[in-house]
Amino acid sequence: MIHLYRAYDCEGGLLYIGVTADLPRRLHDHRRAGIWYDRMVRHSAKAYNDRLLAEAIERRAIRLLRPQFNVFGQHDQKERFDARLSDAGRKALKIGRGVVGQRNKRDSTINKMEPSSE
């Protein structure tokens, strides 16, 4: 199970959004890092069976909600996941980029960034 989690401060402000397979361990890691954990008063989490879908939702939420402590430039490598999402995943995200296997200019750019699996 993959968890998409959000951390909030005492005023309801969004501190951080993340994805993990082990939520207690990940929160412990955040506590040890000490950057924003002391400001967190609550967190929410939603479980997914599909890591690619959870990461795509995470990326979109970060882009739209701009949590205070997410580093925005480090999520560029996750762009390749959009090209791999199933039709159901795309519909769930409401991305509207067509069906998997149907290539467009953006998919070609994504494929050039990925290491070849051949």
Please give the tally of structural domains in the chain. 1
- What would the mean pLDDT of 41-52 be, rounded to a whole number? 96
- Provide the percentage of residues in the chain whose pLDDT is more than 90: 57
Residue 72 lies in a domain: yes
73: pLDDT strictly greater than 50: no
Domain range for 51? 2-113
What is the tens place of the pLDDT at every residue in 75-106?
A: 444 444 444 555 556 556 554 443 333 333 44
Q: From 19, 12, 20, select the one nearest 39 (Cα to Cα).
A: 12
pTM, 2 dp: 0.62
- What would the mean pLDDT of 22-43 be, rounded to a whole number? 95
Residue 42 lies in a domain: yes
- What would the mean pLDDT of 54-79 be, rounded to a whole number? 79
Residue 31 lies in a domain: yes
Residue 50 lies in a domain: yes
Residue 118 lies in a domain: no
What pLDDT is attached to residue 69? 93
Distance CA 6, CA 92 (A): 19
What pLDDT is attached to residue 109? 36
Q: From 2, 69, 73, select the one nearest 38 (Cα to Cα).
A: 69
CB 34 within 8 A of CB 40: no
User: Residue 29 belongs to a domain with what CATH number?
Assistant: 3.40.1440.10
Residue 73 lies in a domain: yes
Length of the chain: 118
